[in-house]
Amino acid sequence: MKIRQTFIALAVTAAALTAAPVLQAAEAPVAAPAAQTVKAGKPTVWILATGGTIAGVAASATEMTGYKAGSLGIDTLLAAVPQIHDIADCRGEQIANVASPNIKVDTWLKLAGRINELLAKPEVNGVVITHGTDTLEETAWFLNLVVRSDKPVVIVGAMRPATAISADGPVNLLNAVKLASTPEAKGRGVMIAMNDVINGARDVQKTNTLRVDTFQSPELGYLGYFEAGNPVFYRASTRKHTSQTEFDVTGLKDLPPVVILYSHVADDGTLAKAAVAAGVKGIVHAGTGNGSVPDDVFKVLKGAVEQGITVVRGARVPNGPTIRSVAYFEEAGLLKAGTLNPQKARILLQLALTKTSDPKEIQRMFDEY
Ligand code: DAS
């Protein structure tokens, strides 16, 4: 009941903002860390805000799609869910305030640096990141590969804006703080807490454009659930992550350019040729079936490998791994994405290319992470 009242209060506040200042809020300079009181005896959780629908504002409570993501600041988000302060000493910090299609590498590098800095402090128990859902799985996977700590890192978003009737953001944020405060959540890699389930960064996908149960780990499954409001684990990934990572983005200003080519009937290789001409360092081919490549595209990709560009075969099919197929793919040096979807294969390839261009080494990384 309290949460619902809080929501209504937030909705009213946000609706009041929509008159005009809300657009300014989205465009306002990123705020300094919010000052919050430290309460003894509770875990300390930092909440790093990046925007998204969880911070989104619409003109009315029934408007679910026509809203401005990344409108509310971290202080408003935290004030809307006072119950999080019963669980942990929560400190907020605004890293960015954008709709997640606009997340860029500089935000990733800033997030990674800040999370590593915070989690290195003995007094910090965990980190929560608020994020738009569109690219949430990519940020989660990137962080899963570059955060160097076993402490819980949880990403959370919402499918309905903060102003919506039955907004999902507040309960998701409450669950995320619980997860980040839970000792059993250590060592499980970066997690996503939404819609009462816990997904792992490696296997999670946004599977539905609109529904609140959009985040799923098809085939490989959830890590756990929130049962009676508390996180309960059933599964763990066997793949390397976080504290076992070999990737270090400290000091980097950018990541190597890697593109995704989406396969389709009658693809004559136009985009593959354009990618090579643009000077990319890597290509992920989102192929049909088990990472199939049309002959016209294959010719271009074979030439790309001969020029030193790393090419990974992935699949546009949502489930199942991309594995060995016809021998000439292997002979041409095309690598395999396994169960990583193309957007995640792209990120792993970018990080791999910060260390090596040796195809055997890069395939090893795809097999281990
Ligand atoms: N606007 C989108 C985003 O910021 C959607 C969302 O957050 O749910 O990713």
Tens of each residue's pLDDT in the chain, 369 residues: 343 444 444 544 444 343 323 323 333 434 444 444 445 689 999 999 999 999 999 999 999 999 999 999 999 999 999 999 999 999 999 999 999 999 999 999 999 999 999 999 999 999 999 999 999 999 999 999 999 999 999 999 999 999 999 999 999 999 999 999 999 999 999 999 999 999 999 999 999 999 999 999 999 999 999 999 999 999 999 999 999 999 999 999 999 999 999 999 999 999 999 999 999 999 999 999 999 999 999 999 999 999 999 999 999 999 999 999 999 999 999 999 999 999 999 999 999 999 999 999 999 999 999
Rg, the chain, Cα only? 21
**Distance between CA atoms of 50 and 111, rounded to whole angstroms?**
9
Q: Of the residues 63, 67, 100, which should be mutated to test ligand 1's pocket, given the most ligand atoms within 8 Å of the CB?
A: 100
Supply the pLDDT for residue 41.
86
Global pTM value? 0.91
Q: Of the residues 50, 53, 65, which should be mutated to test ligand 1's pocket, given the most ligand atoms within 8 Å of the CB?
A: 53
Ligand 1 atom closest to residue 53's alpha carbon, by position in its atom list: 7
**Distance between CA atoms of 197 and 193, rounded to whole angstroms?**
6
Q: Is the CB of 100 under 6 A from ligand 1?
A: yes
Supply the pLDDT for residue 292.
98
In whole angstroms, what separates CA 119 from the centre of its chain? 18
**Distance between CA atoms of 349 and 258, rounded to whole angstroms?**
8
Q: Do 146 and 245 meet the contact criterion of CB atoms below 8 Å apart?
A: yes
- DSSP-assigned letter for residue 187: T
Q: Which two tokens stand for residue 344?
A: 């995640």
**Distance between CA atoms of 140 and 333, rounded to whole angstroms?**
29
Phi, psi of 75, rounded to the nearest 5 degrees: -60, -40
Tens of pLDDT, residues 190-244: 999 999 999 999 999 999 999 999 999 999 999 999 999 999 999 999 999 999 9
- Out of 18, 44, 50, 53, the active site residue is 53
Q: Do 159 and 54 meet the contact criterion of CB atoms below 8 Å apart?
A: no
**Distance between CA atoms of 203 and 197, rounded to whole angstroms?**
13
Residue whose CA is at the smallest distance from ligand 1 atom 7: 132
Q: Which two tokens stand for residue 98?
A: 């954008």
Q: Which two tokens stand for residue 305?
A: 């490998």
Ligand 1 atom closest to residue 158's alpha carbon, by position in its atom list: 8
**Distance between CA atoms of 281 and 258, rounded to whole angstroms?**
6
**Distance between CA atoms of 362 and 246, rounded to whole angstroms?**
12
Supply the pLDDT for residue 80.
96
Nearest 5°: CA angle at 164, between 161 and 166? Answer: 110
Supply the pLDDT for residue 40.
60
Provide the 3-class DSSP secondary structure of residue 343: helix
- How close is the Cα of 290 to the center of ligand 1, in Å? 30
Q: Looking up tokens 């955060």, which residue turns up?
A: 147
Supply the pLDDT for residue 57.
96
Report how far apart the first and last C-alpha atoms of the chain are (Å, whole number): 43
- How close is the Cα of 111 to the center of ligand 1, in Å? 18
Q: Do 263 and 297 meet the contact criterion of CB atoms below 8 Å apart?
A: yes
Q: Looking up tokens 């990674």, which residue turns up?
A: 112
Phi, psi of 86, rounded to the nearest 5 degrees: -75, -25
Based on the residue annotation, tell me whether 245 is a catalytic residue of this protein. Answer: no
- DSSP-assigned letter for residue 34: P
Q: Is the CB of 50 under 6 A from ligand 1?
A: no
Decide: residue 314, CB within 10 A, 0-12 exposed, 13-18 middle, 19+ buried: buried
Q: Which of 266, 264, 347, 259 is nearest to 304 (CA)?
A: 259
Q: Do 162 and 10 meet the contact criterion of CB atoms below 8 Å apart?
A: yes
- DSSP-assigned letter for residue 322: B
- How close is the Cα of 7 to the center of ligand 1, in Å? 19
Residue whose CA is at the smallest distance from ligand 1 atom 3: 132
Q: Is the CB of 99 under 6 A from ligand 1?
A: yes
Q: Which of 251, 241, 242 is nearest to 113 (CA)?
A: 251
